[in-house]
Amino acid sequence: QKEVEQNSGPLSVPEGAIASLNCTYSDRGSQSFFWYRQYSGKSPELIMSIYSNGDKEDGRFTAQLNKASQYVSLLIRDSQPSDSATYLCAVERGFKTIFGAGTRLFVKA
């Protein structure tokens, strides 16, 4: 079992819709959780971080964390074609940050 698992996709949504990206992790000792966005040929950049159970909102993005279920999600409201990218879930444990393989998102105009 991988430490951080994501559906590889691709996930395709129409412009203006809500995109829902999911991630599970195996280590209950994990402390902090992140979503990174990576455009093709570019390096990942941070979108959201979350530490406590519940929801955290930042503009069109909402991160959700459920430590009991070992589940993290990212909702993107009013999806735009510019949101088309690979989204990486990352989990921090001590000094290490472990990444999932990423979910490819396509937003159709």
What x/- string results for residues 10 through 39 when contact with another protein is judged by CB under 8 A? ---------------------xxxx-x---
Which residue, 17 or 92, has its beta carbon nearer to another protein?
92
With contact defined as beta carbons under 8 Å apart, do 54 and 42 qualify?
Answer: no
Nearest CA among 1, 16, 6 for reference residue 83: 16
| Residues of this chain, 35-64, that bind another protein according to CB under 8 A | 36, 42-46, 49-52
Sign of the dihedral defined by the CA atoms of residues 26, 41, 36, 29, in that order: positive
Q: How far is the CB of 17 from another protein (least distance, A)?
A: 26
Which residue, 17 or 104, has its beta carbon nearer to another protein?
104
Q: What angle do CA 57, 13, 20 make, to 5 degrees?
A: 35
Could you tell me the two tokens for 68?
């009991």
Binding residues for another protein (CB under 8 A)? 8, 31-34, 36, 42-46, 49-52, 88, 90, 92, 95-102
